[in-house]
Amino acid sequence: MEKISNLLGSVYWKVKRSRKLNIISFAILSLISLSFLINCLSLAQSAEIEIFLDFGKEPTVDGYIDRTADEWDDANKQKIFLYQNLSAPENGLEIDLWIVQHEFFLYIAVSFELVEHQSNEFVGILTAESESLDPLDYEDAKIVQFLNITEGNFEYRDYFINESKFFADSQVNGAGASHLEIDSDRVVYEFQLAIESSDGGDEDTRIEAGIYSPFMIIFGESQNYDEDIMLMNVISLFVQFYAYNPIISIEQIIFITLASVIFSLIGSFYGYYIFQIIKLKEKIKKIRR
Amino acid sequence: MSKFKKNNSKSKKTIVKSKLDEDFAYKTVFLTAILSGIFLIISFLFNTQLITIFMVENTIWFYIDIVIKVLVILLFFLFGIISIGNYKELSGKPLDYKLVFLLFILSIIQSYRNLWVFGFTFLGLLVIIAYFYFIQEN
Protein backbone atom coordinates (compact mmCIF):
# COMPACT_ATOMS: atom_id res chain seq x y z
CA MET A 1 0.00 0.00 0.00
CA GLU A 2 2.82 2.31 0.94
CA LYS A 3 4.39 1.63 -2.38
CA ILE A 4 1.13 2.50 -4.16
CA SER A 5 0.67 5.73 -2.14
CA ASN A 6 4.27 6.67 -2.79
CA LEU A 7 3.74 5.99 -6.43
CA LEU A 8 0.53 8.06 -6.45
CA GLY A 9 2.33 10.85 -4.58
CA SER A 10 5.09 11.01 -7.17
CA VAL A 11 2.49 11.00 -9.95
CA TYR A 12 0.60 13.86 -8.25
CA TRP A 13 3.87 15.78 -7.82
CA LYS A 14 4.73 15.20 -11.43
CA VAL A 15 1.30 16.46 -12.50
CA LYS A 16 1.59 19.46 -10.22
CA ARG A 17 5.13 20.18 -11.46
CA SER A 18 4.12 19.90 -15.11
CA ARG A 19 1.23 22.34 -14.52
CA LYS A 20 3.60 24.82 -12.89
CA LEU A 21 6.00 24.38 -15.77
CA ASN A 22 3.19 24.93 -18.25
CA ILE A 23 2.16 28.17 -16.57
CA ILE A 24 5.75 29.44 -16.47
CA SER A 25 6.48 28.46 -20.06
CA PHE A 26 3.17 30.04 -21.17
CA ALA A 27 4.11 33.25 -19.38
CA ILE A 28 7.60 33.27 -20.97
CA LEU A 29 6.22 32.53 -24.43
CA SER A 30 3.60 35.26 -24.15
CA LEU A 31 6.27 37.73 -22.99
CA ILE A 32 8.51 36.81 -25.93
CA SER A 33 5.67 37.08 -28.43
CA LEU A 34 4.56 40.41 -26.91
CA SER A 35 8.05 41.87 -27.17
CA PHE A 36 8.33 40.55 -30.73
CA LEU A 37 4.98 42.18 -31.58
CA ILE A 38 6.11 45.50 -30.05
CA ASN A 39 9.36 45.24 -31.96
CA CYS A 40 7.51 44.55 -35.20
CA LEU A 41 5.19 47.50 -34.60
CA SER A 42 8.10 49.85 -33.91
CA LEU A 43 9.83 48.54 -37.03
CA ALA A 44 6.76 49.27 -39.04
CA GLN A 45 6.92 52.85 -37.82
CA SER A 46 10.66 53.24 -38.41
CA ALA A 47 12.65 53.48 -41.64
CA GLU A 48 11.15 51.34 -44.34
CA ILE A 49 13.90 52.19 -46.77
CA GLU A 50 17.03 50.19 -46.15
CA ILE A 51 19.91 50.70 -48.55
CA PHE A 52 23.01 48.53 -48.66
CA LEU A 53 25.67 50.80 -50.11
CA ASP A 54 28.13 50.00 -52.86
CA PHE A 55 31.43 51.61 -53.70
CA GLY A 56 31.58 53.72 -56.81
CA LYS A 57 33.19 56.56 -58.69
CA GLU A 58 33.61 59.80 -56.77
CA PRO A 59 31.09 62.42 -57.89
CA THR A 60 31.87 66.14 -57.79
CA VAL A 61 29.84 67.95 -55.17
CA ASP A 62 28.87 71.04 -57.16
CA GLY A 63 25.10 70.78 -57.50
CA TYR A 64 25.33 69.56 -61.10
CA ILE A 65 24.86 66.01 -62.31
CA ASP A 66 27.28 65.64 -65.20
CA ARG A 67 25.80 62.89 -67.35
CA THR A 68 28.57 63.17 -69.96
CA ALA A 69 31.12 62.14 -67.32
CA ASP A 70 28.84 59.29 -66.09
CA GLU A 71 28.74 61.01 -62.73
CA TRP A 72 26.57 59.22 -60.16
CA ASP A 73 26.30 56.19 -62.50
CA ASP A 74 27.52 53.88 -59.73
CA ALA A 75 25.07 55.31 -57.21
CA ASN A 76 22.24 53.39 -55.61
CA LYS A 77 19.14 55.11 -57.02
CA GLN A 78 15.83 55.26 -55.20
CA LYS A 79 12.60 57.17 -55.56
CA ILE A 80 11.25 58.03 -52.13
CA PHE A 81 8.71 60.42 -50.68
CA LEU A 82 9.17 63.17 -48.10
CA TYR A 83 6.21 63.54 -45.77
CA GLN A 84 4.91 66.20 -43.42
CA ASN A 85 4.23 63.68 -40.70
CA LEU A 86 6.04 60.38 -40.62
CA SER A 87 3.53 58.84 -38.21
CA ALA A 88 0.79 59.40 -40.79
CA PRO A 89 2.57 59.58 -44.13
CA GLU A 90 0.45 60.91 -46.97
CA ASN A 91 0.70 63.25 -50.00
CA GLY A 92 4.47 63.17 -50.05
CA LEU A 93 6.94 64.96 -52.28
CA GLU A 94 8.63 62.49 -54.58
CA ILE A 95 12.41 62.83 -54.70
CA ASP A 96 15.22 61.06 -56.50
CA LEU A 97 17.72 59.86 -53.93
CA TRP A 98 21.15 58.79 -55.17
CA ILE A 99 23.75 57.46 -52.77
CA VAL A 100 27.24 56.16 -53.40
CA GLN A 101 30.22 55.41 -51.21
CA HIS A 102 33.74 56.32 -52.33
CA GLU A 103 36.62 55.43 -50.02
CA PHE A 104 35.88 57.10 -46.67
CA PHE A 105 33.09 59.33 -47.96
CA LEU A 106 29.40 59.04 -48.50
CA TYR A 107 27.87 61.00 -51.38
CA ILE A 108 24.17 61.78 -51.36
CA ALA A 109 22.23 63.54 -54.12
CA VAL A 110 18.63 64.64 -53.68
CA SER A 111 16.74 66.01 -56.66
CA PHE A 112 13.10 66.91 -57.18
CA GLU A 113 10.77 69.17 -59.11
CA LEU A 114 8.49 71.78 -57.64
CA VAL A 115 6.03 74.03 -59.45
CA GLU A 116 7.37 76.94 -57.43
CA HIS A 117 10.60 77.03 -55.48
CA GLN A 118 10.89 79.37 -52.52
CA SER A 119 13.89 81.66 -52.23
CA ASN A 120 15.12 80.17 -48.92
CA GLU A 121 14.60 76.51 -49.75
CA PHE A 122 16.85 73.98 -48.04
CA VAL A 123 17.54 70.27 -47.88
CA GLY A 124 19.38 68.69 -45.00
CA ILE A 125 20.72 65.32 -43.93
CA LEU A 126 20.32 64.57 -40.25
CA THR A 127 22.26 61.82 -38.54
CA ALA A 128 22.13 60.15 -35.17
CA GLU A 129 23.15 56.92 -33.55
CA SER A 130 19.57 55.87 -32.93
CA GLU A 131 16.58 56.24 -35.18
CA SER A 132 13.69 58.59 -34.57
CA LEU A 133 10.75 59.96 -36.52
CA ASP A 134 11.23 63.41 -34.99
CA PRO A 135 13.95 65.49 -36.68
CA LEU A 136 14.72 67.30 -33.45
CA ASP A 137 15.78 64.01 -31.87
CA TYR A 138 18.74 63.79 -34.25
CA GLU A 139 22.25 64.90 -33.32
CA ASP A 140 23.88 66.29 -36.43
CA ALA A 141 22.67 68.21 -39.49
CA LYS A 142 24.32 68.95 -42.81
CA ILE A 143 22.23 71.51 -44.64
CA VAL A 144 22.42 73.17 -48.03
CA GLN A 145 20.55 76.42 -47.59
CA PHE A 146 19.56 78.64 -50.49
CA LEU A 147 19.88 82.34 -49.70
CA ASN A 148 18.43 83.30 -53.05
CA ILE A 149 17.44 80.39 -55.23
CA THR A 150 16.93 82.36 -58.45
CA GLU A 151 20.43 83.82 -58.21
CA GLY A 152 21.82 80.45 -57.21
CA ASN A 153 23.21 81.68 -53.87
CA PHE A 154 23.50 78.92 -51.33
CA GLU A 155 25.44 78.03 -48.20
CA TYR A 156 26.57 74.69 -46.88
CA ARG A 157 25.94 74.55 -43.15
CA ASP A 158 27.02 72.12 -40.46
CA TYR A 159 24.86 72.10 -37.35
CA PHE A 160 24.45 70.03 -34.22
CA ILE A 161 21.13 69.55 -32.46
CA ASN A 162 20.93 69.93 -28.71
CA GLU A 163 17.67 69.87 -26.75
CA SER A 164 15.61 70.27 -29.94
CA LYS A 165 17.57 73.30 -31.10
CA PHE A 166 19.97 73.68 -34.03
CA PHE A 167 23.42 75.17 -33.31
CA ALA A 168 26.14 75.94 -35.85
CA ASP A 169 29.27 73.76 -35.51
CA SER A 170 32.49 75.55 -34.60
CA GLN A 171 34.14 73.70 -37.49
CA VAL A 172 32.34 72.90 -40.72
CA ASN A 173 32.86 69.30 -41.84
CA GLY A 174 31.63 67.68 -45.02
CA ALA A 175 30.52 69.48 -48.16
CA GLY A 176 27.33 70.37 -49.95
CA ALA A 177 26.15 72.20 -53.03
CA SER A 178 22.97 72.86 -54.93
CA HIS A 179 21.69 74.09 -58.26
CA LEU A 180 18.26 74.88 -59.65
CA GLU A 181 17.58 74.31 -63.31
CA ILE A 182 15.21 77.15 -63.96
CA ASP A 183 13.83 75.67 -67.21
CA SER A 184 12.69 72.42 -65.66
CA ASP A 185 12.24 73.65 -62.06
CA ARG A 186 14.33 70.68 -60.96
CA VAL A 187 16.67 71.28 -58.09
CA VAL A 188 19.69 69.12 -57.21
CA TYR A 189 21.26 69.00 -53.75
CA GLU A 190 24.56 67.17 -53.30
CA PHE A 191 26.28 66.21 -50.05
CA GLN A 192 29.59 64.69 -49.03
CA LEU A 193 29.80 63.13 -45.56
CA ALA A 194 32.89 61.57 -43.98
CA ILE A 195 32.65 57.98 -42.77
CA GLU A 196 34.26 56.77 -39.54
CA SER A 197 35.63 60.22 -38.89
CA SER A 198 35.91 61.83 -35.48
CA ASP A 199 37.10 65.18 -36.84
CA GLY A 200 33.91 66.93 -35.78
CA GLY A 201 34.30 65.84 -32.16
CA ASP A 202 31.13 66.08 -30.08
CA GLU A 203 29.47 68.32 -32.67
CA ASP A 204 29.27 65.64 -35.38
CA THR A 205 27.89 62.12 -35.42
CA ARG A 206 30.46 59.50 -36.26
CA ILE A 207 29.02 57.46 -39.14
CA GLU A 208 30.02 53.89 -38.44
CA ALA A 209 30.75 51.33 -41.14
CA GLY A 210 29.43 47.78 -41.00
CA ILE A 211 26.05 48.67 -39.51
CA TYR A 212 22.77 50.24 -40.59
CA SER A 213 22.64 53.92 -39.56
CA PRO A 214 19.63 56.22 -39.67
CA PHE A 215 19.67 59.24 -41.97
CA MET A 216 16.80 61.71 -42.07
CA ILE A 217 16.29 63.82 -45.17
CA ILE A 218 14.59 67.11 -44.41
CA PHE A 219 13.16 69.84 -46.59
CA GLY A 220 12.05 73.36 -45.72
CA GLU A 221 11.57 76.82 -47.09
CA SER A 222 13.03 79.07 -44.41
CA GLN A 223 16.17 79.34 -42.31
CA ASN A 224 14.46 78.39 -39.07
CA TYR A 225 15.30 74.72 -38.67
CA ASP A 226 13.94 74.45 -35.13
CA GLU A 227 10.38 75.03 -36.28
CA ASP A 228 10.12 75.08 -40.06
CA ILE A 229 11.07 71.61 -41.24
CA MET A 230 8.23 70.92 -43.66
CA LEU A 231 8.95 67.48 -45.11
CA MET A 232 11.06 64.55 -44.02
CA ASN A 233 11.76 60.86 -44.30
CA VAL A 234 14.10 58.38 -42.73
CA ILE A 235 16.35 55.99 -44.58
CA SER A 236 18.61 53.35 -43.13
CA LEU A 237 22.02 53.07 -44.78
CA PHE A 238 24.47 50.22 -44.47
CA VAL A 239 27.87 51.86 -44.86
CA GLN A 240 30.65 49.55 -45.94
CA PHE A 241 34.13 49.19 -44.52
CA TYR A 242 36.68 50.62 -46.91
CA ALA A 243 39.72 48.43 -47.39
CA TYR A 244 42.54 50.78 -48.29
CA ASN A 245 44.25 49.47 -51.38
CA PRO A 246 47.32 51.57 -52.10
CA ILE A 247 48.12 52.09 -55.75
CA ILE A 248 51.82 51.74 -56.47
CA SER A 249 52.99 54.35 -58.96
CA ILE A 250 55.62 53.79 -61.67
CA GLU A 251 57.96 56.09 -59.73
CA GLN A 252 57.63 53.87 -56.66
CA ILE A 253 58.23 50.72 -58.73
CA ILE A 254 61.43 52.30 -60.13
CA PHE A 255 62.60 53.23 -56.63
CA ILE A 256 61.88 49.74 -55.27
CA THR A 257 63.72 48.10 -58.21
CA LEU A 258 66.67 50.47 -57.80
CA ALA A 259 66.78 49.77 -54.06
CA SER A 260 66.80 46.01 -54.60
CA VAL A 261 69.50 46.24 -57.32
CA ILE A 262 71.75 48.64 -55.38
CA PHE A 263 71.54 46.91 -52.03
CA SER A 264 71.85 43.40 -53.49
CA LEU A 265 75.00 44.58 -55.27
CA ILE A 266 76.44 46.05 -52.05
CA GLY A 267 75.27 42.96 -50.12
CA SER A 268 77.01 40.59 -52.52
CA PHE A 269 80.25 42.61 -52.29
CA TYR A 270 79.94 42.57 -48.51
CA GLY A 271 79.31 38.82 -48.46
CA TYR A 272 82.33 38.21 -50.69
CA TYR A 273 84.46 40.38 -48.38
CA ILE A 274 83.36 38.49 -45.26
CA PHE A 275 84.19 35.23 -47.09
CA GLN A 276 87.66 36.63 -47.83
CA ILE A 277 88.14 37.54 -44.14
CA ILE A 278 87.29 33.96 -43.11
CA LYS A 279 89.70 32.63 -45.74
CA LEU A 280 92.39 34.99 -44.42
CA LYS A 281 92.08 33.44 -40.96
CA GLU A 282 92.76 30.02 -42.46
CA LYS A 283 95.71 31.40 -44.42
CA ILE A 284 97.22 32.89 -41.24
CA LYS A 285 96.83 29.55 -39.47
CA LYS A 286 98.55 27.74 -42.36
CA ILE A 287 101.47 30.22 -42.38
CA ARG A 288 101.88 29.83 -38.63
CA ARG A 289 102.04 26.05 -38.94
CA MET B 1 125.64 29.14 -25.36
CA SER B 2 124.21 31.96 -23.43
CA LYS B 3 124.35 34.15 -26.49
CA PHE B 4 122.42 31.62 -28.55
CA LYS B 5 119.85 31.24 -25.79
CA LYS B 6 119.44 35.00 -25.55
CA ASN B 7 118.82 35.30 -29.30
CA ASN B 8 116.32 32.44 -29.18
CA SER B 9 114.26 34.04 -26.42
CA LYS B 10 114.30 37.36 -28.29
CA SER B 11 113.03 35.77 -31.49
CA LYS B 12 110.41 33.87 -29.49
CA LYS B 13 109.27 37.15 -27.95
CA THR B 14 109.04 38.82 -31.37
CA ILE B 15 107.11 35.82 -32.72
CA VAL B 16 104.64 36.00 -29.82
CA LYS B 17 104.34 39.76 -30.25
CA SER B 18 103.73 39.48 -34.00
CA LYS B 19 101.18 36.72 -33.30
CA LEU B 20 99.39 39.00 -30.85
CA ASP B 21 99.49 41.87 -33.32
CA GLU B 22 98.12 39.64 -36.06
CA ASP B 23 95.32 38.44 -33.82
CA PHE B 24 94.50 42.00 -32.83
CA ALA B 25 94.58 43.13 -36.47
CA TYR B 26 92.38 40.23 -37.52
CA LYS B 27 89.89 41.00 -34.75
CA THR B 28 89.84 44.63 -35.89
CA VAL B 29 89.22 43.56 -39.50
CA PHE B 30 86.35 41.33 -38.45
CA LEU B 31 84.76 43.74 -35.96
CA THR B 32 84.90 46.75 -38.27
CA ALA B 33 83.47 44.61 -41.10
CA ILE B 34 80.58 43.60 -38.82
CA LEU B 35 79.99 47.25 -37.80
CA SER B 36 80.06 48.24 -41.45
CA GLY B 37 77.47 45.51 -42.16
CA ILE B 38 75.23 46.78 -39.36
CA PHE B 39 75.31 50.31 -40.78
CA LEU B 40 74.62 48.89 -44.25
CA ILE B 41 71.43 47.26 -42.91
CA ILE B 42 70.39 50.50 -41.14
CA SER B 43 71.11 52.43 -44.33
CA PHE B 44 69.02 49.95 -46.33
CA LEU B 45 66.06 50.51 -43.99
CA PHE B 46 66.29 54.30 -43.89
CA ASN B 47 67.65 55.27 -47.29
CA THR B 48 65.24 53.07 -49.26
CA GLN B 49 62.53 54.64 -47.07
CA LEU B 50 61.28 51.27 -45.90
CA ILE B 51 61.21 53.03 -42.55
CA THR B 52 60.30 56.70 -42.61
CA ILE B 53 61.93 58.45 -39.70
CA PHE B 54 60.05 61.75 -39.77
CA MET B 55 57.02 62.49 -41.89
CA VAL B 56 56.87 66.27 -41.33
CA GLU B 57 58.67 68.31 -43.95
CA ASN B 58 60.16 71.80 -43.67
CA THR B 59 60.81 71.50 -39.96
CA ILE B 60 63.83 70.72 -37.84
CA TRP B 61 62.87 67.02 -38.12
CA PHE B 62 63.42 67.17 -41.86
CA TYR B 63 67.05 68.14 -41.30
CA ILE B 64 67.51 65.59 -38.52
CA ASP B 65 66.23 62.95 -40.94
CA ILE B 66 68.87 63.96 -43.52
CA VAL B 67 71.64 64.03 -40.88
CA ILE B 68 70.77 60.50 -39.69
CA LYS B 69 70.75 59.11 -43.24
CA VAL B 70 74.05 60.79 -44.12
CA LEU B 71 75.72 59.66 -40.87
CA VAL B 72 74.67 56.05 -41.40
CA ILE B 73 76.25 55.97 -44.88
CA LEU B 74 79.41 57.72 -43.69
CA LEU B 75 79.80 55.26 -40.80
CA PHE B 76 79.36 52.37 -43.25
CA PHE B 77 82.16 53.84 -45.38
CA LEU B 78 84.38 54.62 -42.38
CA PHE B 79 84.21 51.14 -40.84
CA GLY B 80 84.39 49.56 -44.30
CA ILE B 81 87.58 51.37 -45.25
CA ILE B 82 89.18 50.65 -41.84
CA SER B 83 88.31 46.97 -42.23
CA ILE B 84 89.61 46.73 -45.82
CA GLY B 85 92.75 48.71 -44.91
CA ASN B 86 93.58 46.36 -42.05
CA TYR B 87 92.73 43.34 -44.20
CA LYS B 88 95.21 44.53 -46.83
CA GLU B 89 97.77 45.16 -44.08
CA LEU B 90 97.35 41.57 -42.87
CA SER B 91 97.58 40.08 -46.35
CA GLY B 92 100.68 42.23 -47.01
CA LYS B 93 99.29 44.26 -49.89
CA PRO B 94 98.71 48.01 -50.03
CA LEU B 95 95.22 49.52 -50.14
CA ASP B 96 94.88 50.75 -53.71
CA TYR B 97 92.73 53.57 -55.02
CA LYS B 98 90.53 51.17 -56.98
CA LEU B 99 89.16 49.68 -53.76
CA VAL B 100 88.69 53.10 -52.17
CA PHE B 101 86.84 54.24 -55.29
CA LEU B 102 84.68 51.09 -55.28
CA LEU B 103 83.74 51.64 -51.63
CA PHE B 104 83.08 55.31 -52.39
CA ILE B 105 80.66 54.33 -55.18
CA LEU B 106 78.97 51.65 -53.05
CA SER B 107 78.45 54.26 -50.32
CA ILE B 108 77.24 57.14 -52.47
CA ILE B 109 74.66 55.08 -54.39
CA GLN B 110 72.88 54.33 -51.11
CA SER B 111 71.69 57.95 -51.10
CA TYR B 112 69.93 57.64 -54.48
CA ARG B 113 66.50 58.64 -53.14
CA ASN B 114 67.32 62.02 -51.71
CA LEU B 115 69.37 64.79 -53.31
CA TRP B 116 70.13 66.41 -49.96
CA VAL B 117 71.44 63.13 -48.56
CA PHE B 118 73.40 62.55 -51.76
CA GLY B 119 75.07 65.98 -51.57
CA PHE B 120 76.04 65.79 -47.90
CA THR B 121 77.20 62.17 -48.22
CA PHE B 122 79.39 63.13 -51.19
CA LEU B 123 81.04 65.91 -49.17
CA GLY B 124 81.37 63.68 -46.07
CA LEU B 125 83.04 60.90 -48.07
CA LEU B 126 85.52 63.36 -49.59
CA VAL B 127 86.38 64.63 -46.10
CA ILE B 128 86.95 61.07 -44.77
CA ILE B 129 89.13 60.15 -47.76
CA ALA B 130 91.13 63.37 -47.37
CA TYR B 131 91.53 62.67 -43.63
CA PHE B 132 92.87 59.16 -44.28
CA TYR B 133 95.13 60.45 -47.06
CA PHE B 134 96.78 63.04 -44.81
CA ILE B 135 97.14 60.52 -41.95
CA GLN B 136 98.99 58.19 -44.31
CA GLU B 137 101.18 61.05 -45.47
CA ASN B 138 102.14 61.88 -41.89
Give pLDDT, residue A29.
72
Check CB contact under 8 Å for B110 and A288: no
Q: Which residues of A touch B90 (CB under 8 A)?
A: 280, 284
In chain A, % of residues over pLDDT 90 = 52
Q: What is the mean pLDDT of residues A74-91?
A: 90
Closest residue to A277, CB basis, from B33, B40, B109: B33
All residues at 6 or more sequence positions from A91 whose CB lies less than 8 Å from its CB, including other chains: A83, A84
The candidate with the shortest Cα–Cα distance to A75, out of A101, A103, A113, is: A101
Tell me how far apart the alpha carbons of residues B77 and B88 are, in angstroms, rounded to a whole number: 16
Q: For B113, which residue in chain A has the nearest alpha carbon? A: A255
Closest residue to B33, CB basis, from A258, A259, A273: A273
CB contact, 8 Å: B33 with chain A? yes
Residues A11 and A130 both lie in one domain: no
Does residue A174 sit within a domain? Answer: yes
Domain of B99 in residue numbering reads as 2-137
Check CB contact under 8 Å for B110 and A274: no
Give pLDDT, residue A37.
54
Residue B20: pLDDT over 80: no
Check CB contact under 8 Å for A270 and B36: yes
Tens digit of each residue's pLDDT (9 = 90 or more) over A224-266 = 999 999 999 999 999 988 876 667 788 888 888 999 999 999 9
**Per the structure, how many domains does chain A have?**
3
Residues A261 and A224 both lie in one domain: no
Residues A72 and A182 both lie in one domain: yes
Does residue A243 sit within a domain? Answer: no
Q: Considering the entire predicted model, what is its pTM?
A: 0.52
Q: What is the mean pLDDT of residues A68-93?
A: 89
Helices B115-137 and B97-108: angle between axes, nearest 10 degrees: 160
ipTM score? 0.83
Give the gap in angstroms from C-alpha B124 to the nearest C-alpha of chain A: 19
Give pLDDT, residue B12.
62
Contact between B69 and B124 under an 8 Å Cβ cutoff? The reply is no
Contact between B68 and B46 under an 8 Å Cβ cutoff? The reply is yes
Closest residue to A266, CB basis, from B83, B84, B106: B106
Give the gap in angstroms from C-alpha B106 to the nearest C-alpha of chain A: 6
- Across the beta sheet with A229-238, the strand order is A49-52, A229-238, A212-220, A122-127, A140-148, A153-162, A165-168
Burial degree of A227 (CB within 10 A; 0-12, 13-18, 19+): exposed
Check CB contact under 8 Å for A276 and B87: yes
Give the gap in angstroms from C-alpha A57 to the nearest C-alpha of chain B: 30
A90 pLDDT tier (thresholds 50, 70, 90)? confident
Residues A277 and A165 both lie in one domain: no
Mean pLDDT is lowest, of A62-66, A193-197, A233-237, A243-247, for: A243-247
Give the gap in angstroms from C-alpha B96 to the nearest C-alpha of chain A: 16
Closest residue to B110, CB basis, from A255, A262, A280: A262
Q: Which residues of B touch A257 (CB under 8 A)?
A: none
Residues A138 and A215 both lie in one domain: yes
Residues A13 and A56 both lie in one domain: no
Domain of A256 in residue numbering reads as 248-289
Give the gap in angstroms from C-alpha B101 to the nearest C-alpha of chain A: 14
Residues A36 and A53 both lie in one domain: no
Residue B56: pLDDT over 80: no
A3 pLDDT tier (thresholds 50, 70, 90)? very low
Residue B1: pLDDT over 50: no
Q: What is the mean pLDDT of residues A106-117?
A: 93
Residue A129: pLDDT over 70: yes
**Per the structure, how many domains does chain B have?**
1
Residue to substitute from B106, B117, B121, interface A, most A β-carbons within 10 A:
B106
Give pLDDT, residue A54.
87
Give pLDDT, residue A286.
80
Give pLDDT, residue B78.
95
Closest residue to A274, CB basis, from B22, B33, B49: B33
